[in-house]
């Protein structure tokens, strides 16, 4: 049979085009069904579970079923698990570990500082020698560098001998290291400030409650800001001036709550003096020595304890022989309470200086504030203090001022950014609740729901 070659080529071309078009339509259809049979789970695509437990008609939903379910939902269809994939409240293991360490440090700071105050008041019942207690507790600072080296040897990859580490940390005092001149010129003022700070605080605990003392001692943060602003020319911040005013107002209100009795006024004055000396210690350290690394800070505190043992030992002895402080016989000295208080104070200083390795300084400071309610609860059960309204308001004002001092320098810019992000997220939630933009005013009949769902799927 004779055929027309031109007509045959045309028919073959039309047949091939129809076949390719059918394949493309089938491919699109298959891809659409496959996409609908996938769900998003924590950001990963995983196959949906079959309704029948195996292969067959229940293994994937048809497009009509998907449209029907979307129509019954009253909004645009979204893949299953959409909320799980878009939820911002997902934490990695590292973040969870950091949060747990931070919580542990905060609780440790709070409990160690509150425990020191409570145990000191208990110790005074049988051993009324505040300067001797201060000297005994400060002598434990000698252990700082030893504890630091144990941690360094356990965690550091590059192992160094104690002597090598000691020489490296001695560079903090100057090119010549820790000389006799630096030992007396630098360590003597800091040791005197350290001793007076703790001694005045312990004296105040004999006259006022631990709750008032711990709350008033939080004012040292305000004094640090004022001294840094005047002496070190730090940046002026209005919110910190407000915090300092809160601290002053709290001091006056606590004094007023006790009726301006001489006993309480003396105790409040002693705590405020202790907080002022603590602030002076911190500002002088920053001005004369600058910032210190972990090993350098540990060495500095160990040398401070050594100076206390060497040159301050004569002071409690002189107070004893002059009759200013009376010691009971050595067999009746409450050594377990003294050692417990010294260990708690040492732990508190370790956390305050080295806790930044596992958490932020802000959280550490929050732990100091939390010691105030802990002391209040302890003294409420022992009935050592009466919480009238003026005292409670004064304590809250001081704690609020302390927290205001923890705000970063760019807190206003960060606050504006947070508010703007919150407004945007709130607006997105409102849009999601109303449905996709452009379909807000549509009716709720069945036909309109099917139309909306179909458009969402095709989009």
Contacts of residue 443, defined as CB under 8 A and 6 or more positions apart, other chains included, come to none
Contacts of 343-348 spanning 24+ positions with Cβ under 8 A:
343/140, 344/112, 344/113, 344/115, 344/116, 344/119, 345/112, 345/116, 345/137, 345/140, 345/198, 346/137, 346/140, 346/141, 346/143, 347/108, 347/112, 348/109, 348/112, 348/113, 348/116
Dig out the tokens for 385 from the structure: 């203090």
| Residue ranges, the chain, pLDDT below 50 | 1-8, 10-11, 13-14, 18, 21-22, 24-89, 436-459
pLDDT at 78: 43
Please tell me what DSSP assigns to residue 50. Answer: P
Distance CA(225)–CA(307), nearest Å, equals 29
Q: Give the strand pairing for 44-47 and 38-41.
A: antiparallel
Looking at residue 332, what DSSP letter applies? G
The C-alpha atoms of residue 298 and residue 426 are separated, in whole angstroms, by 49
Q: Which residue shows structure tokens 């005047």?
A: 230
Give pLDDT, residue 341. Answer: 94
Quote the tokens at residue 192. Answer: 């005197």
Q: What is the pTM of this model?
A: 0.70
Q: CA nearest 180: which of 287, 297, 295, 310?
A: 310
Helix (H/G/I), strand (E/B), else coil: 122: helix
Q: What pLDDT does residue 50 have? A: 37
Please tell me the distance from the alpha carbon of residue 94 to that of residue 39, in angstroms, as a whole number.
27
Spatial separation of the C-alpha atoms in residues 193 and 338, rounded to whole Å:
22
Identify the pLDDT of residue 329: 79
Main-chain phi, psi angles of 147, to 5 degrees: -65, -35
The Cα 271–Cα 204 span in angstroms is 6
C-alpha span between 63 and 456 (Å, rounded):
12
Is residue 52 a contact partner of residue 59, using CB atoms and an 8 Å limit? yes
Write out the two tokens for 236: 């002026």
Q: Which residues pair with 47 in a beta bridge?
A: 38
**pLDDT tens for residues 271-312?**
999 999 999 999 999 888 888 888 899 999 999 999 999 999
- Give one word for 260, left, alpha or beta, with left for phi > 0 and alpha for psi -120 to 50: left
């Amino acid at each position: 049979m004779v055929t027309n070659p031109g007509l045959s080529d045309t028919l073959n071309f039309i047949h091939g085009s129809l076949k390719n078009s059918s394949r493309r339509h089938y491919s699109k259809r298959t891809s659409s069904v496959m996409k609908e049979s996938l769900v998003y789970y924590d950001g990963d695509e995983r196959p949906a579970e079959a309704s029948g437990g195996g292969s067959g008609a229940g293994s994937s939903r048809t497009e009509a079923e998907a449209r029907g379910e979307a129509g019954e939902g009253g909004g645009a269809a979204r893949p299953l698990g959409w909320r799980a994939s878009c939820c911002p409240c997902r934490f990695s293991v590292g973040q969870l570990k950091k949060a747990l360490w931070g919580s542990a440090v905060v609780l440790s700071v709070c409990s160690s500082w509150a425990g020191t105050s409570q145990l000191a008041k208990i110790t005074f019942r049988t051993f009324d020698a505040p300067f001797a207690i201060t000297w005994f507790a400060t002598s434990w600072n000698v252990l700082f560098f030893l504890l630091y080296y144990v941690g360094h040897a356990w965690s550091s990859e590059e192992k160094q001998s104690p002597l090598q580490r000691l020489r490296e940390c001695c560079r903090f005092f100057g090119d010549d290291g820790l000389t006799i001149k630096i030992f007396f010129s630098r360590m003597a003022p800091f040791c005197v400030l350290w001793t007076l700070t703790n001694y005045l605080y312990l004296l105040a605990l004999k006259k006022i409650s631990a709750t008032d003392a711990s709350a008033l001692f939080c004012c040292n943060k305000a004094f640090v800001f004022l001294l840094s602003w005047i002496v070190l020319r730090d940046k002026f911040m209005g919110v910190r001036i407000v915090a300092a005013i809160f601290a002053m107002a709290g001091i006056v209100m606590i004094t007023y709550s006790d009726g301006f009795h001489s006993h309480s006024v003396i105790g409040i004055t002693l705590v405020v003096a202790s907080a002022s000396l603590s602030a002076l210690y911190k500002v002088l350290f920053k001005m004369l020595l600058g910032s210190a690394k972990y090993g350098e800070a540990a060495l500095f505190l160990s040398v401070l304890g050594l100076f206390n043992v060497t040159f301050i030992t004569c002071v409690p002895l002189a107070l004893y022989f002059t009759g200013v402080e009376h010691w009971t016989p050595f067999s009746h000295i409450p050594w377990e309470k003294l050692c417990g208080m010294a260990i708690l104070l040492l732990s508190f200083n370790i956390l305050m200086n080295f806790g930044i390795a596992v958490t932020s300084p802000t959280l550490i400071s929050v732990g100091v504030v939390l010691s105030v309610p802990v002391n209040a609860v302890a003294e409420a059960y022992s009935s050592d203090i009466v919480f009238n309204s003026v005292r409670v308001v004064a304590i809250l004002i001081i704690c609020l001022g302390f927290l205001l001092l923890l705000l970063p320098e760019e807190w206003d810019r960060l606050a504006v950014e947070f508010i703007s992000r919150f407004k945007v997220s709130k607006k997105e939630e409102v849009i999601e609740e109303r449905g996709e933009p452009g379909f807000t005013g549509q009716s709720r009949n069945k036909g309109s729901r099917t139309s909306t769902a179909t458009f969402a799927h095709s989009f």
